[in-house]
Amino acid sequence: MFSSLKNLFGGKPKDVVNASTPAPDSLPEAAVPSPATDNSAFLYREAVFDRKNRLAGHLFYLRSSSPLADAEGLRQRQFDRILLDTLNASQDSWNTSLAFIPLSSASLDLPAIDRLKTANVVLLIQLADEAEADKLCPRLEALRERGLAIGIFRQPKNLAFTGSILLADYGAIDVGSNEANTIRDFSVAFRASEKEHPVYLFGSNIDSVDDHRFCHQWHFDYFHGPFAAAAPRRTEDAGADPHKIQLLNLLRLVQGEAETAEIAEAMKQDPLLAFRILRYLNSAALGLDHHIDSLGQALIILGRQRLTRWLSVLLFSVRDPGFGDWLLVESALTRGRLMEVLGKQLMPGHPTDPFFLTGIFSCLDRLLRRPLAEILDDMPLSDEVRAALLERRGPYAALLDVADASDAFDLERMEITAQVAGAKPDAVNRALLAATAWASEVTEHWE
């Protein structure tokens, strides 16, 4: 999952290349995408956590298997250009939380950088071998004046490092490739440097929970790496959670033949759940014109389809979530929204709710720790949704495969499933950005 970022932040490259690589000479020829207009690279996003263990943002990069016969020095610049063009094509849907964008310092003159929206954007700069401080630092200052935050990776042997790190808002270090003493000393030195603006420490490729704990102890602010997936979920038995049991019951009632009064009465049996539903439905994430004051009003205004949607979203809400919980929540919400966005494009006129439910329900087995067939056994779903979830067939199966491959960061599967679904990489990338932003907005309203 993190092999591309190991390459990005100091590891050895494998079979593909990513969006920002410090050692272009080591890249395989077949790993770099063509600069053709029809971009064949797929966007990846990986979670970044803050000191409170909350999901704070994402690191975005590209992977592709398309060949390119080109001069070594142009490869990284072309990747950076494609990444920036991808982000610029979806500016309204990708920067609701922090967006960390890895770039080579050799690409900072690309015009696409000056088209980026500046809110919540952090450029993580890997210094090129030929970087010169007298040319680089004025560009960094100009980007900061525009409102972009600048992160500089620790590269003490690079001649431009001393000057550029003094301008940085973020000091970044590859935790997985450095000794503990180096990480500690970098933290002390960066925080002690005299700056007129706030500074933050970014730890990338943090392999283990122990490494995360060490970085936290040494005042790091943002944390990225496989440690999050390795951390155990705090909700050991979500299937026994009374709120989730009640939500499953409500889902069955809403999707079945139950009367509106019966559904409203069932909601009232759990006052805390009723409060959370009303607060959630009145949040900015839903964007309703009317304030909903009662559960009966919620049913009337929303209708059963939309209420089903938001009950299913609430099913994944977790109090005091750990790293594993956050990854599961994002997986479910992003899958649902990704399928919905792509479904609207590929099957215009078709209802989008089934796409959303298929995506989000595909994670129910991980949430409840029960076989999916057992969970869905008494849930009144359409035959098409059930067929996609249990048998991977029917009209929703192809996009579920795309969402599954994207969630797993599996490049080969993404290329195959997108082609089968009839979705071009650019469309998948834009849908992933929109889905990531939507999931971030939704979880802002959880306690």
Q: Label the pairing between strands 42-49 and 222-224.
A: antiparallel
CA angle 398-438-272, nearest 5°? 110
Q: For residue 61, how many other CB atoms are within 10 A of its CB?
A: 26
Hey, CA dihedral for 73, 76, 82, 88, is it positive or negative?
negative
Confidence band for 17, pLDDT divided at 50, 70 and 90: very low
Confidence band for 446, pLDDT divided at 50, 70 and 90: low
Q: Supply the pLDDT for residue 25.
A: 28
Give the tens place of pLDDT for each residue, 56-69. Answer: 999 999 888 775 43
Q: Where are the domains of the chain?
A: 3-230, 233-447
Using left for φ > 0, alpha for ψ between -120 and 50, and beta otherwise, residue 10 falls in left
CA–CA gap between residue 279 and residue 357 (Å, rounded): 21
CA–CA gap between residue 119 and residue 108 (Å, rounded): 18
Q: Which CATH class is domain 3-230?
A: alpha beta
CA–CA gap between residue 229 and residue 248 (Å, rounded): 26
As given in the structure block, the two tokens for residue 168 are 């940085």
Q: Are 49 and 222 in contact (CB under 8 A)?
A: yes
Give the tens place of pLDDT for each residue, 229-257. Answer: 987 766 555 556 777 888 888 888 888 87
Q: Are 46 and 57 in contact (CB under 8 A)?
A: no
CA–CA gap between residue 192 and residue 195 (Å, rounded): 9
As given in the structure block, the two tokens for residue 123 are 């450029």
Q: Supply the pLDDT for residue 240.
A: 60
User: What are the two backbone dihedrals, phi and then psi, of residue 442, each rounded to the nearest 5 degrees?
Assistant: -65, -45
Whether pLDDT at 34 is above 70: no
Least-confidence region, from 15-29, 243-257, 388-402? 15-29
Task: Give, for 170, the enclosing helix (H) or strand (E).
Answer: strand 170-174
Kindly state the average pLDDT of the residues 33-48. Answer: 70
Q: Are 206 and 224 in contact (CB under 8 A)?
A: yes
* Average pLDDT over all residues of the chain: 84
The tokens 């539903």 sit on which residue? 277
CA–CA gap between residue 85 and residue 39 (Å, rounded): 10
Select from 434, 426, 240 the least CA-distant residue to 339.
434
Q: If 0-12 CB within 10 Å is exposed, 13-18 middle and 19+ buried, where does residue 1 land?
A: exposed
Q: Supply the pLDDT for residue 33.
A: 37
As given in the structure block, the two tokens for residue 372 are 């999916």
CA–CA gap between residue 168 and residue 136 (Å, rounded): 12
Beta strands in 8-131 (DSSP E): 42-49, 55-63, 98-104, 121-126
Partners of 124 in the beta sheet? 102, 151
Q: Which stretches within 117-241 are classed as H helix? A: 133-146, 161-165, 180-192, 209-217, 227-230
Select from 233, 251, 438 the least CA-distant residue to 332.
438
CA–CA gap between residue 337 and residue 315 (Å, rounded): 15
- State CA 70 to chain mean position distance: 31
Q: Are 216 and 48 in contact (CB under 8 A)?
A: no
Confidence band for 284, pLDDT divided at 50, 70 and 90: low
Kindly state the average pLDDT of the residues 414-418. Answer: 96
- State CA 418 to chain mean position distance: 19
Q: Supply the pLDDT for residue 32.
A: 35
Q: Are 330 and 47 in contact (CB under 8 A)?
A: yes
Find the farthest-apart pair of alpha carbons in the chain and give their distance in angstroms, rounded. Answer: 72
Kindly state the average pLDDT of the residues 223-234. Answer: 86
As given in the structure block, the two tokens for residue 151 are 């992160």
CA–CA gap between residue 282 and residue 167 (Å, rounded): 42
CATH of 233-447, one of 2.40.50, 1.10.3470, 1.10.3210, 3.90.320: 1.10.3210
